[in-house]
Amino acid sequence: MLTINGKEVEFREGATVLEVARDNGIYIPSLCAHKELFPFGACRLCLVKIEHMRGFPPACTTPAAEGMKVITEDKELHNLRKNVLELILSEHPNSCLMCDQKELCAKYYICPPKSGRVTGCTFCPARDRCELRKVTEYLGLKEIRIPFKYKGLPMEREDPFFDRDYNLCILCGRCVRVCQEVRGIGAIAFTKRGHDTKIGTAFGKSYLDGGCRFCGACVDVCPTGALSARGSKWHGLPEREVTTTCALCSVGCRLKLEAKWEKVMAARPDEEGPANHGQACVKGRFCIPALVNDAERLKYPLIRKEGRLVPAGWEEAAELVAKRLGRYSPKEVGFVASPFLTNEAAYLLQKFARVGMGTNNIDIASAFSGPVIDAHVRCLGVGAGTGTIEDIESADWIIILGADILTSHPVLTVSINKARRQGATVCLIGPENDIILRMVDNLVPVQPSGYLPLLSGILKILVDREAFDKDFVASRCNGFESLKRSLHDMDLEETIAPCGLSVDRVMELASQILKSKRGCILYGSKILESSNPQQVIYLLFNILLLRGSHLGLIPLRIAGNEQGAGDMGALPNFLPGYRDVSDKDAVSELEEAWSAKLPAEPGVSYSEMIRAAGKGALKALYITSGSIPDKTHLSQVDFIVLHGIYPSPLFEIADVVFPSVAFTEEDGTITSLERRVQRLAAVVKPVGMALPDWKIICLIAEKMKVAGFGFTSAEEVFDEICRVNPLISGHGIWSPRPLAKFALTPVEELMWKKSDVVSEEMPLYSLYYRGIDITEKVHDLKLFYERVLGG
Amino acid sequence: MQKTIEKIIKSHEGEKGSLIPILQDVQRECGYISEEAVAAIAKDVKISEHEIYGVATFYAQFRFTKPGDHLIKVCVGTACHVRGNSLNLMHIKKILGIDEGEITFDYRFGLETVNCLGACALAPLVTVDDEYYGNFSPIKLKKILSKYAKEKAGAEDEED
Do strands A69-71 and A2-4 pair parallel, antiparallel, or not at all (unpaired)? parallel
Q: Which of A763, A759, A769, A42 has the alpha carbon at shortest distance from A370?
A: A759
Span of A597-601, A699-703, B49-53, B78-82 with lowest mean pLDDT: A597-601
Residue among B35, B43, B51 minimizing CB distance to A189: B51
H-helix or E-strand spanning residue B35: helix B35-45
What whole-number distance in Å separates Cα of residue A595 and Cα of residue B121? 111
Residues A451 and A532: their CA atoms lie apart, in Å, by: 9
- For residues A547 and A636, state if they share a domain: no
Domain that holds residue A166: 76-232
Same domain, A421 and A449: yes
pLDDT tens track for A535-594: 888 888 888 888 876 778 899 988 889 899 999 999 999 999 889 999 899 999 999 998
- How is domain B70-159 classified at the CATH fold level? Glutaredoxin (3.40.30)
Residue A512 pLDDT exceeds 50: yes
Please check whether residue A650 is in contact with residue A304, taking contact to mean a CB–CB distance below 8 angstroms: no
Name every residue in B having a CB less than 8 A away from some CB of A.
35, 38, 42-43, 46-55, 57-58, 64
Rounded to a whole number of angstroms, the distance from the CA of B74 to the nearest CA of chain A is 25
B155 burial class (0-12, 13-18, 19+ CB within 10 angstroms)?
exposed
With 50 as the cut, is the pLDDT of residue B158 above it? Answer: no
User: To the nearest 5 percent, what fractions of chain A are helix, strand and coil?
Assistant: 40, 15, 45
Element (H, E) at A478: strand A477-478
Residues A85 and A216 in one domain: yes
Chain A residue numbers with beta carbons less than 8 Å from the beta carbon of B53 are 189, 191, 201-203
- Specify whether the CB–CB gap between A332 and A620 falls below 8 A: yes
Nearest residue, CB atoms, A191 vs list B38, B43, B54: B54
Q: Facing residues of A337 across strands?
A: A364
pLDDT tens digits for range A24-71:
999 999 999 998 899 999 999 999 999 889 999 999 999 999 989 999
What CATH number does residue A273 fall under?
Answer: 2.20.25.90
Give the span between the Cα atoms of A331 and A618, in whole angstroms: 7
Map residue A648 onto helix, strand or coil: coil
Are residues A656 and A774 both part of a single domain?
Answer: no
Residue A20 maps to a domain: no
Q: Do B38 and A189 count as a contact with CB atoms less than 8 A apart? A: no
Q: What is the mean pLDDT of residues A612-627?
A: 83
- Cβ atoms of residues A620 and A653 within 8 Å: no
**pLDDT of res. A104:** 66
* Between A589 and B61, the higher pLDDT residue: A589
Q: Which pLDDT belongs to residue A631?
A: 66
Q: CB-CB: which of B35, B46, B55 is closest to A203?
A: B35
Q: Are residues A643 and A773 in the same domain?
A: no
Q: B47 and A438: CB-CB below 8 Å?
A: yes
Q: Which of A401, A451, A447, A454 is nearest to A426 (CA)?
A: A401
- The mean per-residue pLDDT over the stretch A211-215 comes to 91
Question: Is there a contact between A190 and B47 if contact means CB atoms under 8 Å apart?
Answer: no
Decide the pairing of beta strands A551-555 and A519-523. parallel
Same domain as A256, residue A162: no
Residues of B in contact with A187 (CB under 8 A): 48, 50
Three-state SS sequence of A16-51 = EHHHHHHHCCCCCCCCCCCCCCCCCCCCCCCECEEC
Residue B51, pLDDT above cutoff 80: yes
Task: Give the Cα separation of A439 and A185 in Å (integer).
Answer: 8
Å from B149 to nearest chain A CA? Answer: 31
Predicted confidence at residue B157, as pLDDT, reads: 47
Assigned domain for A635 exists: yes
pLDDT higher than threshold 60 for residue A711: yes
Using an 8 Å Cβ cutoff, are A243 and A254 in contact? Answer: yes
Asked whether the beta carbons of A409 and A384 are under 8 A apart, the reply is no
Residues A183, A88: one domain? yes
- The string of pLDDT tens digits covering residues A486-509 is 888 778 888 888 888 888 888 888
Within-domain flag for A213:
yes
Residue A149 pLDDT > 60, yes or no?
yes
Average pLDDT over residues A261-275: 92
* Shortest Cα distance, chain A CAs vs residue B55, angstroms: 7
* Bridge partners, A257 (sequence order): A242, A267
Cβ contact B127:B133 at 8 Å: yes
- Please report, rounded to a whole number, the percentage of residues in chain B having pLDDT higher than 90: 36
Element (H, E) at A364: strand A362-364
Say what the pLDDT of residue A659 is: 94
**A356 within a domain of the structure (yes/no):** yes
Same structural domain, A203 and A257: no
Quick one: closest CA in B to A187, which residue? Answer: B50
pLDDT digits (tens, 9 = 90+) for A721-772: 999 988 888 887 777 666 666 777 766 554 444 444 444 444 455 678 887 8
Rounded to the nearest angstrom, the gap between the alpha carbon of residue A419 and the centroid of all alpha carbons in its chain is 18
Contact A192 B52 (CB under 8 A): no
pLDDT in tens, B67-117: 888 889 999 999 999 999 999 999 999 999 999 888 888 888 889 888 888
Q: How many CB atoms lie within 10 A of CB A591?
A: 14
Same domain for A529 and A608? no
Q: What is the DSSP letter of A68?
A: -
Lowest mean pLDDT among A111-115, A446-450, A522-526: A111-115
Least Cα separation, residue A783 to chain B (angstroms): 21
Same domain, A223 and A82: yes
Yes or no, beta carbons of A192 and B48 under 8 Å apart:
no
Q: Pick from B43, B51, B58: which is nearest to A186 by CB?
A: B51
- Flag the least confident range among A220-229, A330-339, A626-635, B44-53: A626-635
Q: Residue A743, SS3?
A: strand
Given the DSSP bridges, would you call strands B70-75 and B126-128 parallel, antiparallel or unpaired? antiparallel
Residues of A with a Cβ under 8 Å from any B Cβ are 180, 185-193, 200-203, 210-211, 434-435, 437-438
Q: Quick one: closest CA in A to B52, which residue?
A: A202
Diameter of chain A measured on Cα atoms: 89
Q: Give the model's pLDDT for residue A753.
A: 47
**Contact A86/A92 with Cβ under 8 angstroms?**
no
Q: What is the ipTM of this complex?
A: 0.84
Co-location of A193 and A252 in the same domain: no
pLDDT, mean of residues A462-489: 81
CATH number at residue A453: 3.40.228.10
Q: Please indicate, yes or no, whether residues A328 and A387 belong to a single structural domain of this protein.
A: no
Picking from B48, B49, B61 by the largest number of A CB atoms within 10 A of its own CB, the best residue to mutate is B48
Q: Which residue of A has its CA nearest to B43?
A: A434
CA distance A238 to chain B (A): 35
Distance, in Å, from the CA atom of A187 to the CA atom of A212, rounded to the nearest integer, reads 5
- With respect to residue A29, please indicate whether it lies within any of the assigned structural domains: no
Cis amide leading into A154 (omega within 30): no
CA pair distance B21, B38, nearest whole angstrom: 13
Contacts of A332 (CB under 8 A, 6+ apart): A617, A618, A619, A620
List chain A residues with CB under 8 Å of B58.
190, 192-193
Total domain count, chain A: 4
What are the boundaries of each domain within chain B? 2-58, 70-159
| Res. A115: pLDDT tops 60 | no
Choose among B42, B58, B64: nearest Cβ to A193: B58
Between A572 and B150, whose confidence is greater? A572
* Residues in B touching A200 (Cβ below 8 Å): 50
Å from A205 to nearest chain B CA? 9
User: At a CB cut-off of 8 Å and minimum separation 6, what does B74 contact?
Assistant: B80, B85, B88, B89, B92, B111, B112, B113, B114, B126
Q: Each residue of A668-706: pLDDT tens digit? A: 999 999 889 999 999 999 999 999 999 999 999 999 988
> How many C-beta atoms surround the C-beta of residue B6 within 10 A?
12
